[in-house]
Amino acid sequence: MAVDSYKFLPRSMRAMYESMVAVEEPPVWTALTKPVERCSIALMTSAGVFLKDSQEGFDEEREWREPTWGDPTYRVIPRAVRQEQIGCSHLHINHTDLLEDLDVVLPFRAFTTLEAEGRIGRLADEAYSFMGYQDRRLEEWRTVQGPELVTRLKEQAVDVLLLAPA
């Protein structure tokens, strides 16, 4: 059974998304260079989580002033993070469940299990968080954050990035 992509959206938005035309650019594809059982996998969420004790939250004040703008920066979340360290600044979702259990958006426990089972090579030491309400053209991500993140992933010997839009 296929997932209903619009099940939890306000009814008025379903037609808008359903009528969207696919982008014309050809798909981008990078093949895995080794079996997934030997890959290092990093996790990334757009839930806007950050470390309360050492990182700034995402810029909500500017978004209130400029409602079509979204903070394009990202935060590094260590694999060994504790739940009580987690804050969230994302004005478009409810934070209650992820502040109770971060794994609803960054599944560290599940991937630790998959690592122990040998289904993946390893779970990377770092995960990444950004705030998902972004300029649709993603201009800053294309020119600044994207290349910076890829450099960081390569320095960390990460083979695959799991993206989880919140």
Residues 40-59 touching other proteins, rule: CB under 8 A, are 41, 45, 47
Instruction: Compute how many residues bind other proteins; rule: CB under 8 A.
Output: 73
Asked if residue 141 binds other proteins (CB under 8 A), the reply is yes
Question: How many Å apart are CA 13 and CA 87, to the nearest integer?
Answer: 29
The DSSP H or E segment spanning 75 is strand 74-78
Asked if residue 38 binds other proteins (CB under 8 A), the reply is no
* Phi then psi dihedrals of residue 130, to 5 deg: -135, 175
User: Angle CA(147)–CA(152)–CA(158) in degrees, nearest 5?
Assistant: 110
Asked if residue 28 binds other proteins (CB under 8 A), the reply is yes
Asked if residue 156 binds other proteins (CB under 8 A), the reply is no
Residue 135 in 3-state DSSP?
A: coil
CB of 78 to other proteins, least distance (A): 19
Of 50-58, 74-82, 144-152, the window that binds other proteins (rule: CB under 8 A) is: 144-152
Radius of gyration of the chain (CA): 17
CB of 31 to other proteins, least distance (A): 7
